[in-house]
Structure 1
Amino acid sequence: MRIITWNINSLRLRLPLLRKLVEEETPDIICLQETKVHDDLFPQHALDDLGLPHYLYKGMKSYNGVAIFSRYPLELVDHFPEWCGKKDCRHLAVSIGTPDAPILLHNFYVPAGGDIPDPTENEKFAHKLNFLKETTNWFQKTPPTRSILVGDLNIAPLENDVWSHKQLLKIVSHTPVETESLNEWINTGFIDAMRQIIPASEKLYTWWSYRNKDWKKSNRGRRLDHIWISPDLKEKVQNITVLSHARDWETPSDHVPVMMDINPS
């Protein structure tokens, strides 16, 4: 089973890139974040020939939004809360049938948190911390089994997940309060699958700002996109690939796709 997670930063704008990704990598499942399209305007007609006939989505106008496309039938799992009491389309969970037992797949888009890393001065940052607290509390009560969690979690937790640990300690996405909160969430019963394959001693990024005219030369990246697995799937992971070349596509997202090959049987 090949699973790709990607913050596409507008589904309708980057439909050609989604098609390119499917043609190049032939995924079985794609999880998208920041689709930025209301459900009423979701471009179903433009996606019918992708070879991913099963899909679910949750979207709103101009902001946020998540979607899952699959070769396998999907069953919506909807017993999760509206995080922080907001209906802002940041989480989609599905059950996928396999020969052994179903896989529970979570697709998350965590709030970015604005620019000021102070919850008293910045409501967006307060929202981000509250979101992390609520998800952590929920998963503590229900430890994951046969579960995969992917998405743009908007936090680069490790020193080598950012281009400069010291310079970014006071920058939203790498502040201690955020990385500690993300660690509390993953410690509810997940494993960082990306760092299982690519050692924490190596630099690893999935996002490069649009502000850098030559993203490759400056290479000031961050690992904001993640794949987590429950421990019972640890030995099933075959490979993880960050498709960094996608940052050079025409009108790219500032995030690149992350791909996992896993044998869930």
Structure 2
Amino acid sequence: MSSSRTGVVVVTGGSRGIGAATARLAARHGYAVCVAFRSDAEAARAVVGEVEALGPAAVAVRADVGLEQDVERLFDTAENALGPVTALVNNAGVLERQCRVDEITADRLQRVLSTNVVGAFLCARQAVLRMSTRYGGRGGAIVNVSSAASRLGSPHEYVDYAASKGAVDTLTLGLSKEVAAEGIRVNCVRPGIIATGIHAAGGEPGRVDRIGPLQPMGRGGTAEEVAEAIVWLLSDAASYSTGAFIDVSGGR
């Protein structure tokens, strides 16, 4: 364990995309990193290796954030391996194949909402229980990763995903007010069209190539650009920001 560092951050969905980029950048800023993942152990181990190569300690923990016992174990493991958790990046998110609302099934809704909404709440709960001065903690920061979809609705594609991210926006607003006097800042980043593997899960791997040029900035974004906003909100440079939203969406 490093003796000189910024803190300990739990990054959910940390094995890929925005989560992996955030883990790497947080390590560059001195954070020890818990890489939470659901299925790809090899990718998670690779991110841990990248973090450790930068100096800070790291650990990978398999967890389904939609399951309460998994989330409790995730935070327990992070603290046992790295020390008290001082930051959470609520990044784990899923979507399913593009379709209309009249094609969405209850099973699909359960899968999307379990990870994107229940998971965000459960992870935020554990972070507050460990970081809040109300419970003897020393404070900390939470960054929720939402989506520009929460503002746009994603018609004909992912209205269920967009709705789940609308819930993340509301979680950010409500929780930020609940814990503002307890040493915890809660903010939100809303990515737009970002080049990650999530588009393949929706059935259109080339979605960034199709939609990127239509953005006001004329391109899609990168996971690293989103990570910059996330890590800034975690940092002391954002010490008077809570309940805030940063849209990393190329002007969309």
In the superposition, the TM-score normalised over structure 1's length comes to 0.45
In the superposition, the TM-score normalised over structure 2's length comes to 0.47
Considering fraction of residues, name the structure with more helix.
2
Considering fraction of residues, name the structure with more strand.
1
